[in-house]
Amino acid sequence: MSSSNSSAVSSPFQLFDRAEWKILNGHFSYNLTQDDVEHLHALNEPLTITEIEEIYFPLAHLINIFIERTKDAHAVVNGFLNKNTQRLPFVIGIAGSVAVGKSTTARVLQKVLSMLPGKPKVDLVTTDGFLYPNKVLNARHILNRKGFPESYDTKLLLNFLAAMKSGVEAVEVPVYSHLEYDIVADHKQHVVKPDILIVEGINVLQVNSSRRNNVFVSDYFDYAIYVDADEKDIMDWYVNRFESLRATSFQNPESYFHRYAGMDEQESLAMATNIWNEINRPNLLENILPTRYRADLILEKGSHHFVKQIKVRKI
């Protein structure tokens, strides 16, 4: 689904291949181990120290430039207003399709940003926690549209971001269980005074023109990233992940998808392909992909799941 860079003149983005990008890191250095890498990658998503060094180190360096600029602006404005207000979290949004690897991107970025000079506190929140509980989705007859815009409690998500950008020190957010395929009752994530907040989800760059106040999730972002890949590759990754889950997590009797555990490989392939075509592909084409060029930076992956090029919005 990725598009080529049609014209350097007409595009609002600058295009970098890996060779150009990896030399931009500058003076930052980090110490990562193979154990770190093992804890960061997701099922069926290859991740190497080389990928982190060549893609995420320069990305962290670039984001840090914007963070430092924001700090400087805060100090200057405080001086002008003769105030001593606290600095607010720098908020990063990460969007992309189901199975494209945005969760891994978010975790890696959280790790690398936390290693910046000054060792900032970096919190990660996924918008899965802002899905309506299954009982609400069932009552509205939209459980089969989980992941579509109407399945999210957007008001709750906006209230959370507004609190973060208003200087509220501690906020609770709901927690989603992929095992239970539902919001976990009486379990909250506590977000307390982060220096940097990463918000990851398929919906974070979407614009709902029907909202009367016209306030959108992305209005609270200081920087936005879109993780991109060809549709065929994303579908392949989804189908492969489904088969891996069928052989592992789905075997757990407590899994919402335990009913798929007895499928053979061909049945699993057919089921995953059907789910992709009936749910995930329409959501990608209608709601997710159109938000791609609202991002400040696009990480474009190849079929091997590694980033092959980067598009950076011109300023």
Q: Which residues belong to the annotated binding site for ATP? A: 96-103
Where does residue 262 rank: exposed (0-12), middle (13-18), buried (19+ CB within 10 A)? exposed
C-alpha span between 72 and 78 (Å, rounded): 10
C-alpha span between 244 and 239 (Å, rounded): 9
Q: How many residues does the chain have?
A: 315
Give CA torsion, residues 137, 106, 97, 203, to 10 deg: 50
Q: Which of 116, 39, 30 is nearest to 92 (CA)?
A: 116
Contact 203, 130 (CB under 8 A): no
Residue for token digits 């970096």? 122
CB atoms inside a 10 Å sphere around CB 177: 15
Contact 235, 303 (CB under 8 A): no
CA distances from 315 to 15, 55, 117, 171, 296 (A): 14, 21, 25, 33, 10
25 token code pair: 């890191």
Binding residues: 96-103
Contact 312, 226 (CB under 8 A): no
CB atoms inside a 10 Å sphere around CB 43: 11
